[in-house]
Structure 1
């Protein structure tokens, strides 16, 4: 089948990202995407190995964008300032691009080197942001998971109105980050810093 003039993989992924951000990653289908692009669904298979291949590309795009945003957010910052900047950059990205955030949050396929590298870049930026706390490798990775869990939990609950009270999203997020910073301060105090 001939491809539509002007259609390329980047255009398709960008449209898929828009649709995922608008309706959620799980609502994205090849049929809906093809309709939005003005082609028949089989035309998309020229570019991607089905929906799984398209979602992989969305994960890569999301990870690239997260990497840039968190890198910029933490640049020149250390300690608590870096942790707060990192958390807010992740939360802001999730709020603006919920579909891409969801795609980027999925664990990479263990056999997919490109996906593994993209995920590792984000994690390494987070690890560098925690350097001032002088954590062991295991403790650093735990804190990365804790930070991701705080952001993801708050973002997910905010998205569905899960707090059920007005004006509590920022307060809740701030208190959870404060608890994480207290945890890190306790670690430093335990080291005699």
Structure 2
């Protein structure tokens, strides 16, 4: 049994994700998480008010890790190299963390201030990359939305099994990213 002093929010979140991968996100409960941790389920209420609160914390964990991953991978890159790195990092992170990604997409933007800040940080990373090509703020937002929509569409369609042709999936992704880059013109 995990002693209370060894139990942390992060450990609970990680177990919740592992359990989600095993039985599905909608089937996890405090009772099942507690069983996995070998603790009594009321102990979880010391860390989270309810399952909705836990899911919000899971989204924060995901967004924080995504942002850190993007920042690490983008060091020293600019222009098309930065856009490609951003796109591949986003896609690979979503594929590696499918449950995180699906939870993030289903929970949406909440009234939680920390989620808003993490989403803003994510957007600012993309704005900095696109600023290499675009100065106008409105155009910057349009192109940011375009790239995020392309990436989300690709990831979601792949998750749901919509790519069933002989055309190589990796080639399709590379084509999509290159085509987006071609839509940009240098300042």
Normalising by structure 2, report the TM-score.
0.85
Q: Provide the C-alpha distance between the structure 2 equivalents of 1:21 and 1:144, rounded to a whole number of angstroms.
A: 31
Secondary structure at 2:164's aligned position in 1?
Answer: coil
- Report deviation, 1:125: 1.0
The verdict on how the C-alpha distance between 1:77 and 1:23 changes in structure 2, with shifts beyond 3 A counting, is: farther
Q: Provide the C-alpha distance between the structure 1 equivalents of 2:77 and 2:25, rounded to a whole number of angstroms.
A: 33
Secondary structure at 1:132's aligned position in 2?
Answer: coil
Farther-moved stretch of structure 1 (20-29 vs 163-172) = 20-29
The verdict on how the C-alpha distance between 1:55 and 1:173 changes in structure 2, with shifts beyond 3 A counting, is: same
Residues 58 and 100, structure 1, Cα contact 8 Å, conserved in 2: yes
Q: Provide the C-alpha distance between the structure 2 equivalents of 1:24 and 1:139, rounded to a whole number of angstroms.
A: 39
- Report deviation, 1:27: 4.2
After TM superposition, where is structure 1 displaced by more than 4 Å over at least 4 residues in a row? 21-24
Secondary structure at 1:12's aligned position in 2?
Answer: helix
What is aligned with 2:29? 29
The verdict on how the C-alpha distance between 1:7 and 1:168 changes in structure 2, with shifts beyond 3 A counting, is: same
Normalising by structure 1, report the TM-score.
0.83
The runs of 5 or more residues in structure 2 that have no matched partner are none
What is aligned with 2:145? 145
CA displacement, residues 128-181 of structure 1 (integer Å, 9 cap, x when unaligned):
111111242222222222222222222222223221235632122122212211
CA displacement, residues 58-99 of structure 1 (integer Å, 9 cap, x when unaligned):
111111111111112221111111111000000110111112
Residues 158 and 169, structure 1, Cα contact 8 Å, conserved in 2: no
Q: Matched residue pairs, number?
A: 184
Secondary structure at 1:55's aligned position in 2?
Answer: helix
